[in-house]
Structure 1
Amino acid sequence: MNVSNRVAVVTGAGSGIGRATALALARRCCHLALADIDPAGLKETAWMLSSLRVRVTTHLVDVADRAAVRALPAAVMDAHKRVDLLVNNAGVALGGSFEQVDEDDFDWLMDINFNGVVGMTRAFLPLLRASDEARIVNVSSIYGLVSPPGQAAYSASKFAVRGFSNALRHELDGSTVAVSVVHPGGVATAIAKNARVPRDAPAEEIARGRKLSEKLLRMEPETAGEIIARGIERRQARILVGNDARFVSLLERLSPVNYWRILKKATAR
Structure 2
Amino acid sequence: MTRMPPLDVRSGTTAITGAASGMGAETARQLAARGARIALLDRNAHGLAAVAATLAGDGHTMHVVDLTDDHAVRDAAREVEASHPRLHSLITCAGSSMLGDLDQLTMEEMRWLMDVNLWGTVNITKALLPALRRAPAAHITHLVSIYGLAAPAGRIPYAMSKFAVRGFTEALRHELEDSTVSVGAVYPAGVKTGIILHGRYAAAIDPAVADRAAAAQAAMYHTEPADAAARIVEATVRRRARTMVGRESRPVDVLTRATPVHYWRFMRRALRAAIDTRSPL
1:48 lines up with 2:54 in the alignment: yes
Partner of 2:173: 169
Q: How does 1:2-41 map to 2 (within 5 A)?
A: 2-41=8-47
1:196 counterpart (167, 180, 200): 200
Q: Distance in 2 between matches of 1:211 and 1:71?
A: 38
TM-score (norm 1): 0.95
Q: Distance in 2 between matches of 1:228 and 1:243?
A: 15
| 1:32 counterpart SS class | strand
One-letter code aligned to 1:15: S
Residue 267 (structure 1) shift = 4.4
- Give the ranges of 4+ consecutive aligned residues of structure 1 lying more than 2 Å apart after TM superposition: 202-205, 265-269
Q: Which sections of structure 2, spanning at least 5 residues, go unmatched?
A: 1-5, 274-281
One-letter code aligned to 1:202: D
Q: Distance in 2 between matches of 1:225 and 1:150?
A: 27
Residue 267 to residue 112, structure 1, CA distance change in 2 (3 Å): closer
| 1:243 counterpart SS class | coil
Conserved? CA contact 2:52–2:62, under 8 Å: yes
Q: Distance in 2 between matches of 1:105 and 1:214?
A: 22
Residue 220 to residue 152, structure 1, CA distance change in 2 (3 Å): same
One-letter code aligned to 1:69: V
1:219 counterpart (206, 219, 223): 223
Q: How does 1:151-190 map to 2 (within 5 A)?
A: 151-190=155-194
Superposed CA RMSD: 1.4
| 2:232 counterpart SS class | helix
Measured against aligned partners, the alpha-carbon deviations of 1:55-81 in whole angstroms (never above 9, x if no partner) come to 210010010111010111221122122
One-letter code aligned to 2:168: F
Partner of 2:237: 233
Q: Distance in 1 between matches of 2:207 and 2:125?
A: 39
Residue 265 (structure 1) shift = 3.2
Measured against aligned partners, the alpha-carbon deviations of 1:13-47 in whole angstroms (never above 9, x if no partner) come to 00001101111211221110000111111011101
Measured against aligned partners, the alpha-carbon deviations of 1:156-200 in whole angstroms (never above 9, x if no partner) come to 000000000001101100100000111110111121111111112
Q: Distance in 2 between matches of 1:97 and 1:232?
A: 35
Residue 233 (structure 1) shift = 2.1
2:212 counterpart (208, 211, 232): 208
Residue 234 (structure 1) shift = 2.1
Partner of 1:144: 148
Q: Which sections of structure 1, spanning at least 5 residues, go unmatched?
A: none
How many residue pairs are counted as aligned between the two chains?
267
Measured against aligned partners, the alpha-carbon deviations of 1:191-243 in whole angstroms (never above 9, x if no partner) come to 11111111121345313311211211221111100011111222210111111
Residue 113 (structure 1) shift = 0.4
